[in-house]
């Protein structure tokens, strides 16, 4: 199954300035992400960085990564992806996978698994991923987004709150988790191009504004989101200088 990987990259970052160009073992981070994806997807998969600044495009092309320049004024990543689809002239039924440009340790197999969701579920407008939470602090952490699925593996709701809430939680076991294990959402998405172009035009959902989770807009408007549940926790993303140091240490340990 053919699909395109789009990697949005925005130069401005309040917590880590020039994040896409941060050095990771001699290469810009966004290049590392593209190379990581390329190492585990089919050879004919097109991987394109959608950048908001010419310096990112230049860094990518110098390292053999395809990149296009998009507007610096997009309000969200989905807006940037929609413009990228227009620039690349992708047909409406084409499938694209959104891999964040700050995920240099992403599992390439996860990219293909999420893309396959849309091939398997014709009624789904989006695909994404999740994995079982195995520690209570993550379950209660509002920065860890949780998802609840229906019997067919489609998302029912995403929340920063601990869901599904454990009514009979034993008060004498603060580190216990409910059974079955709650699911942590992984921020990787597959879209059909037609939906991706339409999505930025949809009205924001009240629950989206409350939770600050853009995927809730799709659910509120009646779109289905298929979810791949993986056994592997995602690799660490990079949001802060401390995250950057941690990923550098991981790559150094791998000899990269």
Alpha-carbon span 50 to 77, nearest angstrom: 10
Instruction: State the CB neighbour count (10 A cutoff) for residue 113.
Output: 18
Please, what are the domains in the chain? 1-106+235-256 (3.90.550.10), 123-185+202-230 (3.90.550.10)
pTM recorded for the entire structure = 0.90
> Any idea which residue has 């590392």 for tokens?
32
Residues 6+ apart with CB under 8 A from 140: 162
- Determine the 3-state secondary structure of 193 from DSSP: helix
| pLDDT score at 37 | 95
Closest listed residue to residue 32, CA positions, set 130, 112, 99: 99
Q: What is the mean pLDDT of each run of 10 residues along the chain (256 residues)?
A: 91 82 92 94 94 94 95 83 94 94 91 94 95 94 95 97 90 87 95 92 94 95 97 82 88 73
| pLDDT score at 255 | 63
| pLDDT score at 240 | 86
Contact (Cβ atoms closer than 8 angstroms) between residue 235 and residue 249: no
Residue 226: both structure tokens together: 């298929």
> Any idea which residue has 């029912």 for tokens?
156
């Amino acid at each position: 199954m053919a699909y395109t990987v789009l990697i949005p990259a925005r130069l401005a970052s309040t917590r880590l300035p020039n994040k896409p160009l941060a050095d990771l073992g001699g290469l810009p981070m966004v290049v590392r992400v593209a190379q990581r994806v390329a190492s585990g997807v089919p050879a004919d998969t097109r991987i394109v960085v959608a950048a908001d600044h010419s310096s990112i495009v230049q860094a990518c092309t110098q390292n053999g990564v395809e990149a296009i320049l998009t507007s610096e004024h997009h309000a969200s990543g989905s807006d940037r992806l929609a413009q990228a689809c227009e620039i690349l002239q992708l047909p409406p039924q084409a499938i694209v996978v959104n891999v964040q440009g700050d995920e240099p340790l992403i599992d390439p197999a996860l990219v293909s698994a999420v893309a396959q969701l849309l091939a398997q579920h014709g009624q789904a407008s989006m695909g994404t991923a999740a994995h079982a939470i195995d520690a209570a602090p993550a379950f209660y952490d509002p920065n860890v987004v949780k998802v609840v699925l229906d019997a067919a593996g489609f998302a029912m709701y995403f929340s920063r709150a601990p869901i599904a809430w454990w009514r009979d939680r034993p008060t004498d076991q603060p580190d216990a988790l409910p059974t079955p294990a709650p699911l942590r959402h992984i921020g990787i998405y597959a879209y059909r191009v037609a939906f991706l172009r339409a999505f930025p035009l949809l009205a924001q959902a009240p629950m989206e504004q409350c939770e600050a989770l853009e995927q809730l807009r799709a659910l509120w408007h009646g779109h289905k989101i298929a979810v791949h549940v993986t056994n592997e926790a995602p690799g660490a993303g990079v949001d802060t200088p401390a995250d950057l140091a941690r990923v550098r240490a991981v790559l150094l340990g791998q000899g990269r």
